[in-house]
Amino acid sequence: MAKHIFWGIIPALFIFFAFIGLNIGPLLFLTLIGGLAFYLTEKKGGIPGLHQEIKKKNHIVGKTIVTFEDIGGLERTKQELKEALDFLIHSEEMKEYGIRPLKGILMDGPPGTGKTLLAKAAADYTGSVFVASSGSEFIEMYVGVGAQRVRDLFKEAKTLAKKQQKNSAIIFIDEIDVIGGKRDANSQREYDQTLNQLLTEMDGIQSRDQPQILVIAATNRKDMLDPALLRPGRFDRHILVDLPDKNARKKILEIHTSNKPLASDVDLNQIAIETYQFSGAQLESVANEAAIYAMRDKSKEIKSKHFSSAIDKVIMGEQMDRTASQQEKRRVAIHELGHAIVAENVKPGSISQVALRPRGQALGYVRHNPQEEQYLHTRESLEQQIMIALGGSVAEEIFYGHRSTGSKNDFEQALNLVNYLIDTGLTSLGIVNTNYISKDKLEKESNEILNLLLQKTSNLLQSHKEVIVKALEHLENEEVLSGNEFREMIRQLSNETMISQIG
């Protein structure tokens, strides 16, 4: 009310001063400057550099509706987190045993694996107030601002818990590596002050404090964090939140499709197999994109083909309108069929689809269908992956006598796999430190491996040249070749070859 009266008096004063003949120009200029400063203070979070006018950026959620049952898969992770949270729930029992409170839990894992959801579910599990912020929100160019925001974050958590009559509060800091990176002589003073303040606040958490504070942080770069954060007494529990396995992917898909009309031909188990190494966020996107494709087709149900298109979109991007010449499309088809034939021979049943449709930066693609989760690799399995990567360029050489620039990424993948073979001691060099091996020796070993696998790939594709020709005709007409159709072509031509040899 006072603010409105103030802005009403100002124009009246200017009219009065002008009426009595005073020069109002300087006064008008000063008023504009003052008004601008007031606007910055009230609307933009304050004049930078003044702590009393710092804008509070922290996002506060007073009540979460996410439970552990809402999160598909991650059973081991959820159990490990629950065990850590039980210290917060049974705080009185802890005091009897003289156990100090758990101050922090660090969740480490790839993006999109559900770290934020787990933190919200933790608040629901413990009946705590939930206060969330991101590491990037603490970073400012002005010294001391980040540290002040850390103090405000802890103060807000305690105030909100008391207001809601809660015994505990969970503070969730996402991207903690932004403020918790390793300190050195070249680190910025503002970053150091922010981190120091966080360490101070965590050190100040005591068992007798009411409400009890628990800090949960998330990162996908744990190796970047300062050792002071990782030591016991600060982040006491380190929990890995990894990519879901096949069973977990199926559970996540069941959650995200529970409100969607699925057709009878949709097999979530098969979709879980085809989405190997997808994160929870990507699986949610697959379910959503499949529904969008069904809506585009004006279909009352979401069909298997819609999920297939959705998986392709998440992996490769949206289908493009880019139009290639017939000659270029033919080369792309031969290239992709080269990959597919090698893959189907070294890993039978692994091809899900071969497509001659531009998506993202690719003019065509092969979607592989992993049969089982694989965490360890032998030399044979890595050589098979190298052969699959080389299959496209070798097929081009067989039909055209030369390669194209479309093999660039394939060669990069093959070279990375060869280097991995050397680094893991799976070559004739044995267990070596590559820093102590001459460059010439490493190049010689790499070339020998690549040349041997190029020859094996060429022999394999030469023996399946007829399959490429037949599949090429199908691709040019239909643009898509399913894995089952492709395997049937290989089987038929193999039977015909055997019959002709017997005859």
Active site positions, annotated: 336
In angstroms, the CA 328 to CA 337 distance is: 14
8 Å CB contact between 105 and 84: yes
- The string of DSSP codes covering 398-425 is HHHSS--GGGHHHHHHHHHHHHHHHHTT
Nearest Cα to 55, choosing from 66, 63, 47? 47
Lookup: tokens for 464 = 């399946």
8 Å CB contact between 170 and 129: yes
Dihedral of CA atoms 422, 425, 431, 433 in degrees, nearest 10, equals: 40
Classify residue 184 by burial, with Cβ atoms within 10 Å: 0-12, 13-18, 19+.
Answer: exposed
In the chain, the amino acid numbered 453 is L
Which residues are within 8 A (CB) of 28 and not within 5 positions of it... i.e. 6 or more apart? 14
Cα angle: 243, vertex 244, 246; to 5 degrees: 135
8 Å CB contact between 400 and 331: yes
8 Å CB contact between 328 and 348: no
Number of helices (H), then strands (E), in the chain = 18, 9
CA Rg, the chain, in Å? Answer: 31
In angstroms, the CA 154 to CA 149 distance is: 9
Which residues are within 8 A (CB) of 236 and not within 5 positions of it... i.e. 6 or more apart? 84, 102, 103, 104, 105
- The string of DSSP codes covering 295-350 is HHTT-SSB-HHHHHHHHHHHHH-SBP-----HHHHHHHHHHHHHHHHHHHHHSTT-
In angstroms, the CA 221 to CA 229 distance is: 13
Q: Looking at residue 465, what DSSP letter applies?
A: H
Alpha helices in 2-59 (DSSP H): 2-19, 25-43
